[in-house]
Every structure is written in structure tokens, then in C-alpha cells.
């Protein structure tokens, strides 16, 4: 890992201390530690980190709302949830808010390292402890409107994705920077949710969206 800059958001000081040591072992730099969601949002604005390790249950502004604000205002910063919450509702809420990864606090150092690498590549990673809940989340999609959780712009991007366009081609079609497209593809994958670009395309085509050019 090459000097990854991380904000740690968790309301338990001892857990933050252990996480700081773990991240140092992985070669990452902790640029801020905070104990609530409002402070996490402020820290991202001040430090512009690569990743936020976000707990969900914190006093004041919770991790879901903090994730939503960070994903909206700072799309270049990835949010990786690290939580005790292993229920489907928490997973769905986090992914819908824009989280790019979801790990339980029982995750090993290797698990955290793999997740950080994945989210920095623009992938979505669901840890093995939370993965069984993914099927429940997927089964909860409505049949009348395939992806009501997506904005109109995100649905347009998903259609182009399902037609087989790469990020550069999508950027030209939508008059966006390629980096912006990459971040928005990650956001769409999180909201579907899909663990990979290929799965996002398959989900969209199964719903009747997009045909390969």
C-alpha cells in the first residue's frame, strides 16, 4: 500500500488505537481520528483523505448519514464501513449511502488490507462476515421500478455501462471527466449493490436495461 491517507471514525478510543496500529502495519497514514459522524465529515473536508474507515453507530450524526454526505460532497474519498452491525438493513443503508466496502469488526488485518486495496481500485468489497446478507438485500429490489435508489443521472450511466461502454466512452457521452465517471460507477455499484463491474452489468441487463453495442 503506497501511503494511503485514512480518516478513522469510531466512538471507541481503544478500537481507534488498535486500528491505527493495524493501518501503520499496512503502510497507511492516519490523518485524523474522530468519534462521531459530524467530525468525520469535517475531517474529510479538512484533510481530503483517500479512505474513511467508518463505524455506523456513533453519537450525534451516525455513520450512514456521514457516509451519504461524504459520498455526495467528496466523491474522491472512499468510505469503507467497519462495524459490528451484521444485519441486511445496515448493509443496504450503507451501500445506498455510497459506501464502497462493508466489513465487520471481526475482520483480520489481511481482510482490511484487501478491502482498502479493492475500494481504491474502484471496486466494491463486502467482507465474508456480511456477505450472506447481500442476497437478502438483492432480493429486496422492487419489480416495478428496477433501481429506484439511483438518481436519473446514475440510471443513465448504468444504461451506458450495460451497453458495454468503458469509462472513457461513458465520459465522452456524458461530458464528464473520466475520474468522475469512475467514482460514479463505484457509487452505482454500491447502490445496486454489485460486487464488481461485471455483476452491475449483469444486474442491469437482467432488468432489461442496456444492450451491448
pLDDT, tens digit, 9 for 90 and up, residues 68-78: 999 889 988 99
Q: Is the CB of residue 124 less than 8 Å from the CB of residue 196?
A: yes
- Helix or strand (DSSP H, E) at 101: strand 101-104
Mean pLDDT (the chain, rounded): 85
Mean pLDDT of 170-187: 86
List, as one string, the DSSP characters of 46-57: HH--SEEEE-S-
Residue 82 has phi, psi (to 5 degrees) of: -135, 105
Q: How many alpha carbons lie under 13 Å from residue 62 in its C-beta half-sphere?
A: 9
Give the per-residue pLDDT at 143.
44
Mean pLDDT of 168-194: 87
Q: Which residues sit opposite 32 in a β-bridge?
A: 7
Instruction: Kindly provide the b/e burial profile for residues 15-36, where b requires at least 16 CB atoms within 10 angstroms of the residue's own CB.
Output: ebeebeebbeebebebbbbbbb
Greater confidence (209 vs 88) lies with 209
Using one digit for the tens of pLDDT, what is the confidence trace for 93-119? 888 888 988 999 988 999 999 999 888
Pairwise CA distance, residues 99 & 182, whole Å = 15
Residue 139 burial (CB < 10 Å; 0-12/13-18/19+)? exposed
**Helix/strand/coil for 212:** coil
Nearest by Cα to 124 from 108, 103, 148:
103
Full strand arrangement of the beta sheet holding 125-126 = 29-34, 5-9, 51-54, 78-83, 101-104, 125-126
Residue 176 has phi, psi (to 5 degrees) of: -125, 160
Q: Is the CB of residue 75 less than 8 Å from the CB of residue 99?
A: no
Query: What is the Cα gyration radius of the chain?
Result: 17
Amino acid at each position: 500500500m503506497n501511503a494511503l491517507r485514512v480518516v478513522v471514525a469510531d466512538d471507541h478510543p481503544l478500537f481507534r488505537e488498535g486500528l491505527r496500529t493495524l493501518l501503520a502495519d499496512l503502510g497507511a497514514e492516519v490523518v485524523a481520528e474522530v468519534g462521531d459522524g459530524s467530525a468525520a465529515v469535517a475531517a474529510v473536508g479538512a484533510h481530503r483523505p483517500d479512505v474513511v474507515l467508518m463505524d455506523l453507530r456513533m453519537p450525534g450524526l451516525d455513520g450512514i448519514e456521514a457516509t451519504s454526505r461524504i459520498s455526495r460532497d467528496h466523491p474522491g474519498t472512499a468510505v469503507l464501513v467497519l462495524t459490528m452491525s451484521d444485519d441486511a438493513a445496515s448493509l443496504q443503508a450503507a451501500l445506498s449511502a455510497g459506501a464502497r466496502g462493508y466489513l465487520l469488526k471481526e475482520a483480520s488485518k489481511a481482510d482490511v488490507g484487501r478491502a482498502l486495496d479493492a475500494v481504491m481500485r474502484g471496486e466494491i468489497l463486502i467482507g465474508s462476515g456480511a456477505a450472506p446478507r447481500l442476497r437478502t438485500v438483492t432480493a429486496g429490489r422492487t419489480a416495478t421500478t428496477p433501481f429506484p435508489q439511483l438518481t436519473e443521472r446514475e440510471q443513465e450511466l448504468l444504461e451506458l455501462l450495460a451497453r458495454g461502454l468503458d469509462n472513457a466512452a461513458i465520459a465522452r457521452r456524458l461530458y464528464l471527466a473520466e475520474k468522475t465517471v469512475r467514482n460514479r460507477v463505484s457509487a452505482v455499484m454500491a447502490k445496486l449493490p454489485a460486487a464488481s463491474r461485471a455483476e452491475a452489468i449483469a444486474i442491469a441487463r437482467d432488468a432489461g436495461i442496456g444492450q451491448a453495442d
